Structure 1
């Protein structure tokens, strides 16, 4: 029975009475995630469409299908 108890002893299940994660620990990761999301959105929606930072059509062709999947026009 001891081996069965070890299988169901999950350390990732929260225990009542533990404090929530402080906002000071979450804020830097939230800002980082928002920055990555905005960079992704720029490349899918705008790059080599209305505005281009890079020469050629390489970025446009790379994100072309994703652009149509998300509803951004490009033609």
Structure 2
């Protein structure tokens, strides 16, 4: 006895760009801020004085290949 079942074709979900755009912009700005603090802070373009922020992102700096000393 053989039974054949028809499997419906998957319907792709369409996500409008208008719904994704605010999240993409937020993620992009957040990425740029994090990359600034990891790569540039405590250098020539330092916004904060002291070494606290440098020590906070020190290991991330080396992990991403940015020299810091």
| Larger helix fraction of residues | 1
**Does TM-score exceed 0.5, indicating one fold?**
yes
- Give the TM-score of the pair, scaled to structure 1: 0.74
Aligned length: 60
Unaligned runs of 5+ in 1: 1-14
Distance in structure 2 (CA, Å) of the matches to 1:22 and 1:55:
44
User: Pairwise mapping of residues 49-60 of structure 1 onto structure 2 (< 5 A)?
Assistant: 49-60=43-54
- Give the TM-score of the pair, scaled to structure 2: 0.80
| Greater Cα shift, 18-27 or 63-72 | 18-27
The CA RMSD over aligned residues, in Å, is: 1.2
**Larger Rg over CA atoms:** 2
Structure 1 runs of 4+ aligned residues shifted over 2 Å read: none
